[in-house]
Structure 1
Amino acid sequence: MSRLNQAHYLDFPLRLGPEGGTTCSRIEHVRHQIEQVLFTDPGERWFRPEFGAGIRRLVFEPQSSTLWQVTRQRLQSSLAEALAGEIDARELEVEVAADPDATERLLILIRYRLAALNHSETLEFELTGGTRHG
């Protein structure tokens, strides 16, 4: 394991243990940042009102390729901004689509590479009726 990944970051959501705040690795920290972008509604953060993608609302939107394309572009932009310095934005890929077998499910696939660690990762999120699985 590289020294860069051995750094400790505060875990999210913040939890306290016997030693104080719990920590996580750099790889886990970036995963948590991605979840924060996806599941924070724009305007939810007082000092960063533009932060967040608010994807939970999309589950009940009419299914259309135009909506998924706009959502993909918005996610790509939000993630690239939030993860600047951590990921190589040129290698960030986002896919958004309704599940063909269950249109009430939204599927999100995110591929990225941590620039400093040269570590690639793929995350999958499934939202069903306002809940997430990932």
Structure 2
Amino acid sequence: MDRESGLPLPLDAATAARLQRQRRASTKPELALRRELHRRGLRFRVNHPGLPGRPDLAFTRAKVAVFVDGCFWHCCPEHGTIPRNNRDWWRAKLDRNVARDRAKDVALADLGWVVLHVWEHEAPDAAADRVEVEWRRRAT
């Protein structure tokens, strides 16, 4: 644990460098969802900087925030795993990710937003159906 930040420290410099190279925005599942929603005529802001957690997609008029969550990084109940090497470090890291997700959900809800989470393994059309239903419900 880093004393200043309270964050777990990676096992080595190579692990730290690999984590820094991970794409945080515009992942393949996110792009597929964005394409499908755009095809349906829905327009949104990407990584809205004025909102807690910078949602992957923000439908500002309807106040719907969408996060596309990776199965590994956000502990998917179907596909989430913990690496065997440096297990305690990974558990702390992933638990912190999930806690941060819940905190930003609460912060957005306090501002009157509905938050939807889409897992990376979800089919883009099925995920878009969920988003569109919520958008139509709130936009009218």
One fold, TM greater than 0.5?
no
Q: Which has the higher contact order (CA 8 A, sep 6+)?
A: 2
Specify which structure has the higher proportion of helix. Answer: 2
Q: TM-score with structure 1 length normalisation?
A: 0.29
